[in-house]
Structure 1
Amino acid sequence: MPLPAPTLTPPFNIVRLSHVELRVTDLAWSRGYYVDTLGLQVTHEDADSIYLRAMEERGHHCMILRKSGEGSVGVLGFKVWSEEDLDRAEHWFRARGLPTAWISRPFMGRVLATRDPWGVPLEFYAAMDRLPPIHQQYKLYRGVKPLRIDHFNLFSANVDAAVAFYGEMGFRVTEYTADEDSGRIWAAWMHRKGGVHDIAFTNGTGPRLHHTAFWVPTPLNIIDLMDLMATSGYLDNIERGPGRHGISNAFFLYIRDRDGHRTEIYCSDYQTCDPDLEPIKWDLKDPQRQTLWGAPAPRSWFELGSAFDGAALVDSDLTAQPIIAP
């Protein structure tokens, strides 16, 4: 199936991805992992939740850790350009028979809650509380020195349909993997902010969150984090890497927390803001697709993900698989 043409004048203007809410079973353990080890900054904390931001971010939070009986994902958040875009977004989702509600969220203005056609909980906002800049407070930098949230990656049972739906909202494809036998898209990377992706879709049982990614200064920060995790009780939380992706050209590391939530530590992809930029196509069997150096991903990377609250899982009918490490 060919890629749909990009929507260059979308019905409402999404600026970028913004935040994720992770439900976690042990808030103290999660604080030690995300704050003390990875280096995210606490902006609010109470008995049931921790709000976090990265070093370059001025918005109040990019991640919410919420205490729960089981690990899951509460919502994916996106910032829009204006309050008028929020109203246009509500109309657009309602016209497609999808649920909408105006909700109250701490540290945020008006928030539109909705779901995509597969049940992924989404929220959109125009205004979040602004905090003083801390990017030059170098005494605060620790762990992997996370600078900003970069993207979400989701397992999707039908990547073609996901690309079409999110494409209507103005997300543009930068790179994609084609299954030549079926003619279908196996994975796709889509952006709003001018990097390789704000959101990506990977074939598999879905919808599930595959990972949330944070941008860091250099590959050396990833090496430093590997040393730190390997010597401070987190060796088993390292899943894949470090390495360099073929797709996106980014240097990466994948780690998973106690509840199975996967984080990618990520840097050095490329600029994609030109509206006529042509997507890069990859063959599913190309060994450099996953890792430029040719190393395949482990089976867990293709099978394990975090469920979204209230979304029913569906198995993909596309059985094609890339090379998997033994």
Structure 2
Amino acid sequence: MPIPAPNLYPPFNIVRLSHVEYMVTDLAASRAFYVDTLGLQVTQEDDQRIYLRAMEERGHHCIVLVQADKAEVGVLGFKLFDDPDLDKAAEFFASRDLPVEWVDRPHMGRCLRTRDPWGIPLEFYVKMDRLEPIHQKYKLYNGVKPLRIDHFNMFSADVDASVAFYNDIGFRVTEYTADDESGKTWAAWMHRKGGVHDVAFTNGLGPRLHHTAFWVPTPLNIIDLLDLMSTTGYIDNIERGPGRHGISNAFFLYVRDPDGHRIEIYCSDYQTCDPDLEPIKWSLTDPQRQTLWGAAAPRSWFEEGSTFAGAETKPSALTAQPIIAP
């Protein structure tokens, strides 16, 4: 399907992605992974929840870890430009017969909860508690030295439909992969903040969260993390990489937390803020699309993901298959 023209005047103004809520089955094990190993900073915690932020972030949290019986994803969060945008967002989702609920969320102002047409739980807000800057408190830099949350990648059973909906609310396509035989989109990268993506959609059993990504200072930080994980009991949590993507041009590493939630460590993509920037098209059969250099992705990377709380999954009708490592 053709990639839609960008919607430069959406019904409400999304600034960027903001945060994710992970349900985890062992809060202490998750803390050891995200704090002691990756290096995220604790902003608040008790025996049920841990709030985390990265080094350059002023908002109270980018990840919330919640003790639960089942590992899944509670919500994906996005920051809006100003308060009227919240009411405009509520009107938009209600007009699409999607749920609209005003909820109280710790450390956040007025907050809208809804779902996209496939059941992905979303929340939108304008104000989050601001914390003191810590980006120059270098004694706090640990692990991979995560600077900020960068993007979400989701499995979708119909990538063209996902692109159309998120285009309607202002996300713009930067790069995409098309199946040459059917013409359908196999994956697409879409942004609001001027990087390659805030959200991406990959063909597969969906909806599921493929990964959350964090931006780090340099590729050498990724090498440091590999040394750390390989000597502290996490070698089996290293899933893919390091390498460089063709799409996005980013240097990457994929790791799994103790519950299997996938985290990408990411740097070196490019600026995309021009509103008339043309999307880059890749063929599904181009081996440098997913890996400009490095080993091909393992089967788990294409097939495994985190379910969303309250969302039913369905398989994709598109059966085209990219290159998988033996």
Tell me the TM-score range normalised by the shorter chain.
Answer: over 0.9
**1:260 shift after superposition:** 1.0
Q: Which amino acid aligns with 1:60?
A: H
Partner of 2:281: 281
Q: What amino acid does structure 2 have at the position aligned with 1:283?
A: S
Matched, 1:218 2:214: no
Counterpart residue number, 2:319: 319
- CA deviation string 1:128-186 (max 9, x = no partner): 00000000000000000000000000000000000000000000000000001011000
The amino acid of 2:266's aligned partner reads Y
Q: Which residue of 2 aligns with 1:132?
A: 132
Q: Which one-letter code corresponds to 1:234 in the other structure?
A: Y
Corresponding residue of 2:267: 267
Q: Where in structure 1 do 4 or more consecutive aligned residues deviate above 6 Å?
A: none
Task: Tell me the distance in 2 between the aligned counterparts of 1:268 and 1:95.
Answer: 39
Does residue 12 in structure 1 map to residue 12 in structure 2?
Answer: yes
Asked if the contact 1:71/1:259 (under 8 Å) is kept, the reply is: yes
How far residue 294 of structure 1 moved from its aligned partner, in angstroms, is 5.8
- Tell me the equivalent position of 2:206: 206
Give 2:229's aligned residue: 229
What pairs with 1:146-295 in structure 2 (closer than 5 Å)? 146-293=146-293, 295=295
How many Å separate the matches in 1 of 2:213 and 2:258? 17
Alignment partners' CA distance in 1, 2:259 and 2:285: 31
Give the Cα separation in 1 of the matches to 2:313 and 2:174: 27
Distance in 1 separating the partners of 2:52 and 2:312: 28
Matches of 1:207 and 1:247, distance apart in 2: 22
The runs of 5 or more residues in structure 1 that have no matched partner are none
- Once the two structures are TM-superposed, the CA of residue 293 in structure 1 deviates from its matched residue by 1.4
- CA RMSD in angstroms comes to 0.5
Report the residue type matching 1:273 in the other structure: C
For the Cα contact (< 8 Å) 1:154–1:209, is it kept in 2?
Answer: yes
Q: Could you tell me which residue of structure 2 aligns to residue 48 of structure 1?
A: 48
Conserved? CA contact 2:33–2:258, under 8 Å: no
Kindly indicate whether the alpha-carbon contact (under 8 Å) linking 1:195 and 1:272 is maintained by their aligned counterparts in 2.
yes
What is the CA-CA distance between 1:295 and the residue it aligns to? 3.1
How many residue pairs get matched? 326
- Report the TM-score when normalising by structure 1: 1.00
Structure 2 Cα separation of the partners of residues 321 and 51 of structure 1: 38
Q: CA deviation at 1:225?
A: 0.1
Contact 1:38–1:145 under 8 Å retained in 2: yes
Question: Which position in structure 2 is the counterpart of 1:104?
Answer: 104
Of 187-196 and 290-299, deviating more is 290-299
Tell me the TM-score normalised to structure 2 length.
Answer: 1.00
Corresponding residue number in structure 2 for 1:34: 34
Taking the aligned partners of 1:81 and 1:316, their CA distance within structure 2 comes to: 34
Query: What is the rounded CA distance, in whole Å, between the counterparts of 2:159 and 2:98 in structure 1?
Result: 19
1:300 aligns with 2:300: yes
For 1:78 and 1:5, the matched residues in 2 are separated by 22
CA distance in 1, matches of 2:115, 2:73: 13
Instruction: Tell me if structure 1 keeps the 8 A contact 2:242–2:294.
Output: no
Q: Deviations over 1:281-324 (max 9, x none)?
A: 00001000011016321000000000000000000010001111
User: Distance between the aligned counterparts of 2:136 and 2:294, measured in 1?
Assistant: 38
Structure 2: distance between partners of 1:19 and 1:239:
23
Contact 1:287–1:295 (Cα < 8 Å) also in 2: no
Gaps of 5+ in 2: none
Is the CA contact (8 Å cut-off) linking 1:287 and 1:294 kept in structure 2? no
